[in-house]
Structure 1
Amino acid sequence: MSRYREIATAIEKDIIEKKYVDKLPEQFYLADKYHTSRVTIVHALKLLSQKHLIKTVKGHGTYILSKEIPNIFLNSGTSENDGFTKHINGSGVVSSHIISFQTRKPTHDEACALNISPKEQVYDIIRQRLLDNHSAKLEYTVMPVTRIPGLNRDILHRSIYSYIQDNLGLKIGKDDRIIAADKADAYDMQYLNCRSDDPVLCVKQNAYLEDGTPFEISESRNRYDRGVLTVNNS
């Protein structure tokens, strides 16, 4: 992993652990802390900005935009009352946990990808999947509120796609996917129990209704050693 990526991961971990609140320290402080140049720090901050964790305002500093994410304690006694739901498939017992669910305005790239106004609201969803009570996948999902109205936590615990088809009467069409290997970031280390040098399978997807209307941007980050990925080209 390149030096600036290592630093970005370290800063992201500090944000999650609330060592930095509201704002990051000045760039010269970070350069001194990580024994590197300000150019490397700029590259690291750019990565965090691309993940919508921070925003640099010229002349005012770098502000933290990350969501408040609670700690998750995984054990065999986890139940639906703890925010987990479970079902059984061919691979074992699959559990789902909602880490974060909120609405907000889209970023410029999200508005373009979803073909919506920057003033519209989108759902911002982070879910954790467990296989036999072991962390297996993180899912990040963004959907337009006006296009997929009525989402709530109960629906998220079941199936969003079933709700779209059965309750909203919309037909789901094709999707575009990009599949790539990546190094674990701070969220992966926190919620997938990855080590910093563990590989993660990253799947980015843009999904469309049958008429071609985009309704979802998503990214799933999968542990390399739990579960399999099946791609259906039909």
Structure 2
Amino acid sequence: MQEPMYIKIHNQIKKDIENKKYAVGERIPAERQLATEFKVSRMTLRQAIKTLEDEGILERRLGSGTYVASQKVQEKMSGIMSFTEITRSNGQIPSSKVISYRVTKPSLSEKEKLRLKDGENVLRMERVRSADNVPICYEVAAIPYNLVKEFSKEEISTSLYQTIQHKGGYSLGNVIENIGAAVASEVDARRLSVRKGEALVTRRQVTKLSDGTPFEYVRASYVAERFEFTFAK
């Protein structure tokens, strides 16, 4: 199974950052220069950069460029509720539009977050989640394929947590979430029916089973004026 080019670029840039080629707070080369170095189109290069931004590794500064992100304060939260459960608890009707659903090689970040061994694949699912037919967030979820290979696409995309518990016999553990901020790109604007430059809340989440095994890594962008995070202590 061939790895997409944008994932290869993502992995190489991440390695460069880990190897101190680019320091925290340092501006990386412009997209045109990187596209030339990797011998790809700017669209492919931009997809790799956007993935790194979604993961909190890079951050785009309007009118300035793209920089290696500083480490942000991480808030650990306990208690797991799916988007479906949250939406229904607010008296709204949840729905999802699956953009992409495939078994593939994990990116470096997915491999690290999910503690995968060499050769293990992930099920990567891209969705737009809505409440009362209003787009709320765009998310990319990576799940160890071996954990869910016996389940149908409908079971996984409709209610992963219930499927894991009721059909898989697993118990859910805790979740670690990292919250940040961003502005909507042209692609975000089309996906979420917002204006380019509108405020987004970004979330990176690792959800674990009761034995501490990570089973889901999610990167999501929420429309700030349509969704609110509440932290309870």
Q: Relative to 1, partners in 2 of residues 1:223 and 1:43: Cα closer, same or farther, differing over 3 Å?
A: farther
Q: Relative to 1, partners in 2 of residues 1:182 and 1:151: Cα closer, same or farther, differing over 3 Å?
A: farther
Counterpart Cα distance in 2 of 1:148 and 1:135: 27
Offset at residue 156 of structure 1 (A): 3.4
Q: Which runs of 5+ in 2 are unaligned?
A: 1-27, 36-41, 53-83
| CA radius of gyration, larger in | 1
The Cα offsets for residues 197-228 of structure 1, whole Å up to 9 and x where unpaired, read as: 10101110011111111111101211112133
Does 1:90 find its partner at 2:90?
yes
Q: Relative to 1, partners in 2 of residues 1:219 and 1:232: Cα closer, same or farther, differing over 3 Å?
A: farther
Greater relative CO, 1 or 2 (CA 8 Å, sep 6+) = 2
Q: Relative to 1, partners in 2 of residues 1:157 and 1:124: Cα closer, same or farther, differing over 3 Å?
A: closer
Identity over aligned residues, as a percent?
26
Q: Relative to 1, partners in 2 of residues 1:175 and 1:101: Cα closer, same or farther, differing over 3 Å?
A: same
Contact 1:148-1:215 at 8 Å conserved across structures: no
Residue 186 of structure 1 is matched in structure 2 by 186
Q: Relative to 1, partners in 2 of residues 1:88 and 1:202: Cα closer, same or farther, differing over 3 Å?
A: same
Contact 2:156-2:163 at 8 Å conserved across structures: no
Contact 2:205-2:218 at 8 Å conserved across structures: yes
Residue 224 of structure 1 is matched in structure 2 by 224
Offset at residue 231 of structure 1 (A): 3.9
Residue 150 of structure 2 is matched in structure 1 by 150
Offset at residue 173 of structure 1 (A): 0.6
Give SS of 1:158's match: helix
Counterpart Cα distance in 2 of 1:116 and 1:190: 33
Counterpart Cα distance in 2 of 1:187 and 1:104: 23
Offset at residue 52 of structure 1 (A): 5.2
The Cα offsets for residues 140-173 of structure 1, whole Å up to 9 and x where unpaired, read as: 1001111233243211343100000111011111
Q: Which runs of 5+ in 1 are unaligned?
A: 1-37, 54-84
RMSD between superposed Cα atoms in Å: 2.8
| One of 3, 7, 30 as aligned partner of 1:40 | 30
Offset at residue 232 of structure 1 (A): 5.1
Counterpart Cα distance in 2 of 1:50 and 1:150: 33
Contact 1:120-1:144 at 8 Å conserved across structures: yes
Offset at residue 180 of structure 1 (A): 0.7
Contact 2:173-2:209 at 8 Å conserved across structures: yes
More helix by share: 2
Q: Within 5 A, what are the aligned runs for 1:59-208?
A: 88-208=88-208
The Cα offsets for residues 31-86 of structure 1, whole Å up to 9 and x where unpaired, read as: xxxxxxx9422468666424459xxxxxxxxxxxxxxxxxxxxxxxxxxxxxxx9x
Letter in 2 for 1:49: A
Counterpart Cα distance in 1 of 2:126 and 2:181: 20
| Number of residue equivalences | 165
